[in-house]
Amino acid sequence: MTIPTLIPRKAIFGNPTRLEPAISPDGRLLAFIAPKNDVLNIWVAPIENPKNTRCITNDTKRGIRQFDWTYNNQI
C-alpha cells in the first residue's frame, strides 16, 4: 500500500495571495488584502496602472482581515 502525499500545512492554513478586492467609489483605485512580510495588509493600485501597487498599512502582528471604502474614497 502506498502512503499518499500529504498536502503542505501552509497550503491549507497559510495566508492567501490576495483577497477582498474592492474598487473605490470613484472607480479609480483597486484595494485588496495581501501579505507583506507574511502578515496580511491592505494594498492599493490605480485601475489604470496596476503595477503601481503600494501597501498602505504596516501591520506586523495579526494581519488585517477586512476593510471598507468610505464614500470619499478613504479606506
7 located within any domain: no
- pLDDT band with cut points at 50, 70 and 90 for residue 69: very high
Cell of 63: 494581519
34 located within any domain: yes
Percent of the chain with pLDDT over 70: 100
Mean pLDDT of the chain: 93
41 located within any domain: yes
17 located within any domain: yes
22 located within any domain: yes
Judge whether residue 15 has pLDDT over 90: no
38 located within any domain: yes
pLDDT digits (tens, 9 = 90+) for 31-56: 999 999 999 999 999 999 999 999 99
Domain count, the chain: 1
Q: Given the DSSP bridges, would you call strands 29-36 and 39-46 parallel, antiparallel or unpaired?
A: antiparallel
Range of the domain at 28: 12-55
Q: Give the global pTM.
A: 0.82
**Alpha carbon distance 52, 45 (integer Å):** 6
Task: Answer with the residue of higher pLDDT: 3 or 26.
Answer: 26
